[in-house]
Amino acid sequence: MKYFIRYFIDFAALALLYSFVFFRKWKRKGMDRLLVNTLMYLYLCFVLYFTLMPVITALPFVMNHPYTPMNLEPFVDVFQGRGDFVRQVVLNVVMTVPFGFLFPLTQGRRASFGRTALSCFCMSLGIELLQPLINGIRSSDITDLITNTAGGMLGYGFYVLFRPVTSWILARLRPSR
């Protein structure tokens, strides 16, 4: 029950942020923007759930544990056969495929492969640097950063592949003029 309350506080804060800030802003831009931005917001909430939460209840204890620096040796677990490295690599790639697909939809014409890859890299870097701060048990790893960015790049490939379909769907949501 204690863990449930910690997560509930974070999700309540995210729901309030969406309701009072983002929903109003995105709704004014049209149903197509509202749909795409809401999907991206929900996706990012799930990423936070799996990587950083609980956050708010952990903030008072950020300085109560040592900060473990990022492991900067790429794929050391893979090469040394430690743990369930295949599962970790696959999950890290899969986790950011939606980012690579949704980010260009939220950005419109400004979204390029490079911009999407850089944004995915920055999101992943932020998560990797914050994980050991928020929770002394978690660690950060350069392999996660590489595989997350690769997942975002793969997601961008899916975006390009399905662009005609997504454009058609979003066009149907735009008001007729």
Q: How confident is the model at residue 39 (pLDDT cuts 50, 70, 90)?
A: very high
Give the residue-averaged pLDDT of 123-136. 90
pLDDT of the residue at 136: 75
Give the residue-averaged pLDDT of 64-76. 84
DSSP 12-53: HHHHHHIIIIIHHHHHHT-HHHHHHHHHHHHHHHHHHHHHT-
Higher pLDDT, 101 or 82: 101
- For residue 153, give both structure tokens: 């790049």
CB atoms within 10 A of CB 110: 8
Q: Is the peptide bond before 54 cis (omega within 30 degrees of 0)?
A: yes
- CA 51/CA 138 separation, integer angstroms: 9
Give the residue-averaged pLDDT of 138-159. 95
Evaluate whether 100 touches 113 at the Cβ level (below 8 Å).
Answer: no
Q: Which of 48-62, 64-78, 128-142 has the highest mean pLDDT?
A: 48-62
What is the b/e burial string over 133-162, where b = at least 16 CB atoms within 10 angstroms of the residue's CB? bbbbeeebbbbbbbbbbbbbbbbbeebeee
pLDDT of the residue at 56: 92
Give the residue-averaged pLDDT of 4-26. 95
Give the residue-averaged pLDDT of 62-76. 84
pLDDT of the residue at 2: 75
* DSSP β-bridge partners for residue 40: none
- CA 4/CA 1 separation, integer angstroms: 5
Q: How confident is the model at residue 176 (pLDDT cuts 50, 70, 90)?
A: low
- CA 55/CA 17 separation, integer angstroms: 15
* DSSP β-bridge partners for residue 47: none
| pLDDT mean across residues, the chain | 91
Q: How confident is the model at residue 177 (pLDDT cuts 50, 70, 90)?
A: low
* DSSP β-bridge partners for residue 141: 71
pLDDT of the residue at 35: 95
